[in-house]
Structure 1
Amino acid sequence: MTTRQQRLAARGRRLETVTAAVTVLAAAILCAAVPADEDRTASQRRMKEQTQVAKGVSRPEAVDTRPPLSDPVQLPRSEPTRVLIPQLGTDIEVFAADAEDDGTPPTPDENDALRAAWYQGGPAPGEQGPALLIGHLDTDDGPAAFAGLGSLEPGAEIHVEREDGDTAVFTVDSVEQYQKDDFPNDRVYGLTRTPQLRLITCGGSWSQEDGYDANIVAFASLKS
């Protein structure tokens, strides 16, 4: 095995460690209920309504989940600093984070609701495999980092600014919603043939007791 292949294999093992632990817990942490504020207005309460992916947006056949290539076309590793989604008007900061203590992907704290967390134990945006960016959908105060993620359309661009000064541009392949008790770990976190991006937030129906009961995942592939 070459040195390059050894590095890729080691990186794959790191991601697989997290993949093995990420089941319902990942959704439960991200979509946990926020304590109720008795002074919240009715309009704020209505913000937390059922989300669903638009017809024609979920395209499972478009997502790259094949075994990785030995020498894929990819960018050198560099930390992401911002993510911009022109279709949604999103322009937010990204910060690097390790997995949670229980092995699940990082979830921004409530005071980081307007930023997205990048799982630094896995690929960086532009490297082979799925780079994971996790953000909140909303809070009691209003829309959060990944508000409107479920409305993204196939072909929409996602621009990820990187610490090295480059911008990795991804094209949305599919946007899908899964119940927390039926989250497809292999599909979302498994290694891929090409550089991929996964934007993950909460969705579905919301209740004060349990928070959101689903996750929304936007799948995108490297364009340039």
Structure 2
Amino acid sequence: MDTGRTTSTSSQPFPAVRHIVWALAVGTVLVISGTRHERPPLPPSAGTEAPVAPTGSTGRPAAPAQALAYLAPRRPVPEPPSYVSRSSVAPAPLSLPPLRPAPLRPLRTGPAEAGPGELGPAGAAPATPVPALSAEAPKSAVRPLTPSTPLRLRIPALRVDAPMMKLALNAAGALEAPPDDNPVLAGWYAGGTVPGAVGTAVTAGHVDTRLGPGVFHQLGAVRKGASVEIVRADRRTAVFTVYAVEVYDKKAFPDRKVYGPSARPELRVITCGGDYDKKTGYQDNVVVFAAMTAVR
């Protein structure tokens, strides 16, 4: 029975053929690009910047061969740091200072300074003030100490705290100085009175050395009334009070006045001073006179 509807039986092209063609094209492209990535890239030519090496997911180069391939062949190799390689040349010795520091000149501790009318030419003060020893040594009822080896010499006003060594006389009969290679060392005349005992004890030290300023570089700045302390091996400290500071020409040094005997414990602190001559050294001596006033 005819219903008036007809069915079409014509054949349509199969759609999967087109998909297969596209898949083959894409696969060919992927294969070709894959073979290119497997080859290590050529190093960059001169004048061009080296590309950054490809990295994996961890941020590291994909392979050591590929990372090395990215290094430019003409890239300069950095020099190692200076502290890695040691020079075969020995360091030059330290050069000594060409000039010795001038010591401080002693301050006037005797009579009052002269007025304007008593000054030298053009109103200038004397170049080397020499304080007179007119002031009497301070009187003290402190008992003298028995002899004991001195260990340290201290001058608090100058911040001096020096170890002490024994000194002797040289062939000419002059007092030897401490070694010139130890700026902080002082000495005492072991053939005389021990500091703190009855008599005149003598100590000495350098104003400067070949290594720099000596232990008594500022001795000339000591004022009358300052303290000089001698620490002894018997654990007692003899305290001396300065009552005069004088400067003497070495050619006319008053041995008797400086080294003469005393009926009580006295101390002399001696160093060089005045002008310096390269051949003969310092021309003067600075001498501090002190008397024992306390024992600790």
**TM range, normalised to the smaller chain?**
0.7 to 0.9
Matches within 5 A, 1:8-23: none
- Alignment of 1:187 with 2:260, yes or no, is no
Q: Which has the higher helix share?
A: 1
- Alignment of 1:55 with 2:108, yes or no, is yes
Task: Tell me which of 87, 90, 99 is aligned to 1:45.
Answer: 99
Task: Tell me which of 172, 193, 199 is aligned to 1:102.
Answer: 172
Gaps spanning 5+ residues in structure 2: where? 1-92, 111-130
Which SS does the other structure have where 2:134 is aligned?
Answer: helix
The residue type paired with residue 85 of structure 1 is I
Compared with structure 1, are the counterparts of its residues 99 and 63 closer, same or farther at alpha carbon in structure 2 (3 Å cutoff)? farther
Q: Deviation per CA, 1:64-110: give whole Å up to 9, x if none.
A: 5xxxxxxx941110111000100000000001233223322231121
Q: Deviation per CA, 1:4-53: give whole Å up to 9, x if none.
A: xxxxxxxxxxxxxxxxxxxxxxxxxxxxxxxxx99445xx626136x422
Matches within 5 A, 1:147-166: 147-166=217-236
Separation of aligned partners in 1, 2:210 and 2:167: 24
Q: Which has the higher strand share?
A: 1
Question: How far is the alpha carbon of 1:111 from its aligned partner?
Answer: 2.0
- Give the TM-score, by structure 2 length: 0.56
Separation of aligned partners in 1, 2:210 and 2:108: 28
Question: How far is the alpha carbon of 1:60 from its aligned partner?
Answer: 0.3
Which SS does the other structure have where 1:62 is aligned?
Answer: coil
Separation of aligned partners in 1, 2:203 and 2:218: 15
Which SS does the other structure have where 2:158 is aligned?
Answer: coil
Separation of aligned partners in 1, 2:154 and 2:94: 34
Please tell me whether the aligned partners of residues 181 and 210 of structure 2 are also in contact (alpha carbons under 8 angstroms): no
The residue type paired with residue 174 of structure 2 is T
- Alignment of 1:87 with 2:157, yes or no, is yes
Question: How far is the alpha carbon of 1:205 from its aligned partner?
Answer: 0.2
- Give the TM-score, by structure 1 length: 0.73
Q: Which has the larger radius of gyration?
A: 2
Please tell me whether the aligned partners of residues 53 and 151 of structure 1 are also in contact (alpha carbons under 8 angstroms): yes
Which has the larger displacement, 168-177 or 113-122? Answer: 113-122
Compared with structure 1, are the counterparts of its residues 213 and 109 closer, same or farther at alpha carbon in structure 2 (3 Å cutoff)? same
Separation of aligned partners in 1, 2:282 and 2:94: 19
Separation of aligned partners in 2, 1:102 and 1:90: 30
Separation of aligned partners in 1, 2:273 and 2:266: 22
Compared with structure 1, are the counterparts of its residues 106 and 39 closer, same or farther at alpha carbon in structure 2 (3 Å cutoff)? closer
The residue type paired with residue 205 of structure 2 is G
Please tell me whether the aligned partners of residues 182 and 209 of structure 2 are also in contact (alpha carbons under 8 angstroms): no
1:3 corresponds in structure 2 to: none
